[in-house]
Amino acid sequence: MPDPRFLQIHFLAPYTAALLNRDDAGLAKRLPYGGHLRTRVSSQCLKRHWRLADDPHALDRIDGADAAFRSREIVERKVFGDWSEGVAGDTIAAIREVLLKAVYGDKGADKKSRQTLLLGEVEVAYLTQAAQDMVAQSNGDPKQAKDVAAEWFKTHKANLKAMGEGSKLPGGLVGALFGRMVTSDPRANIDAAVHVAHAFTVHAEEAESDYFIAADDLAREEDTGADTIQETELTSGLFYGYVVVDLPALIGNLGGDRRLAGEVLHNLVYLVAEVSPGAKLGSTAPYSRASFLLLEAGDRQPRSLAEAFRAPVAPDTAQAVAALADHLAALDGVYATAEDRRVMTLVNRDLPGTARGTLAELAQFAGGLPTAVPMPA
């Protein structure tokens, strides 16, 4: 096997009578592909469920995984905590105004205009310490607090990057994996090491409009008993999903910690296979697991296998795996990129150059890759 630079993860996951990801009209998200509409689950939806999963393999259960917070209210809700309750309101207001501007830019005062920002635990701690220092220097005088805050702002204006200096995870583990864009300070941006495609059905969309009522248990006999009449869309489908991990970028974002990178990859494989991106939990129970999972490690530019489904296939796992296997064989025949492959599948179909295994074995394979990754000089 060539030295691994990329890990590619392909999966097939079935869902029945669900509404996994909605658009602004409350309908299932869709994608036109191959002349047919497909049901779609956005990459943002997938990443959110993976990073917030309450699971034995959750990212926040990894030793050394610093937390991160994504919000428009980090300053109000995380920086000014219990410690600020005994401080004069005018003093806190003067310092808070400056920190909001430092973190969110010129529009920081207006919550609705702020960018939803990801800050790591170490950055929140930095801001908290700065706020406490300014309170101490103000000696309980709101006017002095304003002057102290203004002076602090002169030296820290638009410099989020300084908050994370000395930490290998300035944006937390989430920032190291999925990246961060900070419009108020591009120097604080983090390039994503994990790239996630939108998942889509391998067949044409299967959808229906579900008519339902809210029944009144105490309705009189002459009443219909229906207090509310509504409709919602439900879809079923077999989804193809695709994830790429840039291994040197991941290790770099984790401060060179290959052990941590290995644990992240190990858990990520479990999350991709086992965590459902479901909404409407109470009425659809949208829980499923991947029926097919293919890992590929190699040194060449990644390539999706979505082309296997440009012509829709039947909504059947065996036929989808067959189409994917045929497309993979065709690619191997002309490109010969020699990726090291592992597959977990519920159907009995061989894939070219692929060793079969359990989910645990695939996760172990992924977790061992960072030790062999060459880093740029």
The helix/strand/coil state of 240 is strand
**Closest Cα to residue 369, out of 275, 245, 272?**
245
pLDDT at 18: 95
Query: Which stretch of DSSP H or E encloses residue 65?
Result: none
pLDDT at 189: 84
Query: Which stretch of DSSP H or E encloses residue 247?
Result: helix 247-253
Measured CA to CA, the distance from residue 31 to residue 19 in angstroms comes to 15
β-pair type (226-246, 194-196): antiparallel
Look-up: residue for tokens 């864009």?
A: 181
Q: Look up the pTM and report it.
A: 0.87
The domain segmentation of the chain, as residue ranges, is 6-58+191-218+227-372, 69-166
pLDDT at 266: 98
Alpha-carbon distances of 300 from 4, 336, 352, rounded to whole Å: 9, 10, 18
Give mean pLDDT in consecutive 10-residue pieces for the chain, a chain of 377 residues: 90 96 93 98 97 93 84 87 82 86 75 80 86 88 85 70 61 89 75 97 95 73 68 94 98 93 98 92 94 97 98 97 97 95 95 95 97 81
pLDDT at 168: 64
Question: Are 373 and 251 spatial neighbours (Cβ–Cβ below 8 Å)?
Answer: yes
β-pair type (340-345, 354-356): parallel
In the chain, DSSP assigns E strands to: 6-18, 30-33, 36-41, 68-71, 117-120, 194-196, 199-201, 206-215, 226-246, 292-298, 340-345, 354-356
pLDDT at 167: 59
